[in-house]
Amino acid sequence: MEQFVSADTLRERFSQAMSVMYQQEVPQYGTLLKLVAQVNQQVLAQDRALAERLTAADDLARLSVERHGAIRVGSAQELNTLRQLFAIMGMYPVGYYDLAPAGVPVHSTAFRPLEGDALRRNPFRLFTSLLRLELITEGALRQKAASILAARQIFTPRCLTLIAQHQRQGGLNEQQADEFVREALETFRWHRQTTVDRATYDALHQQHRLIADVVCFPGCHINHLTPRTLDIDRVQALMPQHGITPKAIIEGPPRRCVPILLRQTSFKALEEAVNFRDGSAGCHTARFGEIEQRGVALTPAGRERYDRLLAQAGGGADNQQHQQALAAAFSAFPDSEQALRQQRLAWFEYRLTEQGRRQGISPHADCETLIAQGLLAAEPQVYEDFLPVSAAGIFQSNLGAGARETFSAGAGRAEFEAALGAPVTDEMALYAARQAESLRRCGLSDR
Ligand code: OOG
Ligand code: NI
């Protein structure tokens, strides 16, 4: 029987190829990567405990690989084919994010690995947004956008053949895998040549900048990649010295002793030269670089409290004020692993310690008591998903200072899943299952 290349290996190769391509396309992203690596080295030199934890978790080698990227597509068919393409790399749709209420005419999911082993091997995921054409108010323009999208094919013929072949034979051999990565990459490449004339671009841009970005190009260019930083505040502060203009604020929760969820910031999208079909030249602003720092995943109760405190904190004029307002609001949020466990605000993964295995434990024992006795250990589960308010903030920072119209669109999730051709996995169910499974392995009943 033929040897197939594993999904994890394909994802690893694909994300590497994407990174190389993006650094060539957007040199400033390469500068950001260097800055992030520098700051990571400084943090590790100053924080020996962290360095040891990362080494023990076998995380050090993967510190510099990208954690996520983002793309935007225009039609159900495109989204549906992406689902099939990403499945080959072990990336499945998790979570539903409706950004319309925040003034961004898209809804989204993240294609990502589901299992702990796959995430550890390479966590690369793609935040994928589907444009909601129905939110274009002017009928003629909506029709035009739809027909432009219907006429384009964002996948190479060979890529489609390889997807079908994978589905038939259950995998790809070494040579097909190489070809698959190369062909899949083409879908996400930048094209300086638009598929429309200047007037069409302007009309769509006028409706919403994002609409022009999705509709006017032959592919769905990768619009950013995001490495992991060990100190997001420091990188944000250092960006200007490196000729990089950061967005005004760091999105997400404030800095904490026990980091929660996801903090992210980006640099402003660059103006890039494009050519229109009528031969005229112009520019387009869509592509940027981002960094992220992840913390523990929150339970529904924890998440509800996070959302409430975030709304309460409001926004500050600049990042410093914003972070102060957040810190004040989040003083009401417990900041120790023990409190997060006891109040069931965050998800953990449990394992018996050496002593616990030797001694054995009663299935109904209390977790905190066992931890205090040194029989049980709890590891925070990293948040692997996204935050709609933060995502909207990242989008908005690249959409210019135009008016923020909000859209309201009902039945979003059902429509999205119909376009996708599959349900999205509920992220909470994944964290809950992982915690329950870990308790079961310890011989403890779920609580
Ligand atoms: C996606 C913006 C959201 C994130 O990390 O939350 C995002 C986009 O601009 O297409 O990437
Ligand atoms: Ni992002």
Cβ(40)–Cβ(62) below 8 Å: no
Burial of 278 (0-12, 13-18, 19+ CB in 10 A): exposed
Number of structural domains the chain divides into: 1
DSSP string, 331-385: GGS--SHHHHHHTT-B-EEEEE-HHHHHH---TT--HHHHHHTTSEEEEEPBP-S
Give me the CATH number covering residue 197.
3.10.180.80
The pLDDT of residue 404: 59
What is the atom index within ligand 1 of the atom nearest the CA of 106?
Answer: 10
Domain membership of residue 321 (yes or no) is no
Q: Which of 20-34, 48-62, 110-124, 431-445 has the lowest mean pLDDT?
A: 48-62
Give the pLDDT of residue 289.
Answer: 95
> Residue 403: is its pLDDT beyond 50?
no
Chain segment 150-185, per-residue pLDDT in tens: 999 999 999 999 999 999 999 999 999 999 999 999
pLDDT at 401: 52
Q: Which residues contact 330 (CB under 8 A, 6 or more apart)?
A: 253, 254, 256, 309, 313
Do the domain assignments include residue 55?
Answer: yes
How far is residue 274's CA from residue 289's CA, in Å, rounded to a whole number?
20
User: In angstroms, what is the span from residue 69 Cα to ligand 2's centroid?
Assistant: 6
Mean per-residue pLDDT of the chain? 94
Counting every residue written for the chain, the total comes to: 447
| pLDDT tens digits, one per residue of 364-401 | 899 999 999 999 999 999 999 999 999 999 988 887 65
- Say whether pLDDT at 193 is over 50: yes
Question: Is the pLDDT at 409 greater than 80, yes or no?
Answer: no
Tell the residue nearest (CA) to atom 9 of ligand 1: 395
> Alpha carbon of 119 to those of 97, 126, 347, 383, 384: distances in Å?
21, 13, 16, 11, 9
Ligand 1 mutation target, pool 72, 224, 288, most atoms within 8 A of CB: 224
Q: pLDDT category, 1, cuts 50, 70, 90?
A: low
User: Is this complex's ipTM strictly greater than 0.90?
Assistant: yes
* Residue 385 to residue 208: CA distance in whole angstroms: 27
| CA–CA distance, 359 with 353 (Å, rounded to integer) | 10
Assigned domain for 243 exists: yes
Q: Which ligand is nearest to the CA of 286?
A: 1
Q: What is the mean pLDDT of residues 428-436?
A: 97
Q: How much of the chain, in percent, has pLDDT values that exceed 90?
A: 86
What's the pLDDT score for residue 375?
97
Residue 342 lies in a domain: no
Quick check: is 420 in a domain?
no
Q: Is 264 in the pocket of ligand 1 (CB under 6 A)?
A: yes
- Could you tell me if residue 298 is inside a domain? no
Q: How far apart are CA 113 and CA 15, in angstroms?
A: 13
Please report whether residue 421 resides in a domain: no
According to the model, what pLDDT value does residue 268 have?
87
In a domain, 17, yes or no: yes
Decide the pairing of beta strands 224-226 and 125-131. Answer: unpaired
Packed helices 76-88 and 412-420: angle between N→C axes, nearest 10 degrees: 60
Checking if the pLDDT of 311 tops 70, the result is yes
CA of 71, closest atom in ligand 1: 10
Q: Which domain holds residue 206?
A: 7-253+261-293+383-409
Q: In which band, very low, low, confident or very high, does the pLDDT at 425 lie, cut at 50, 70 and 90?
A: very high
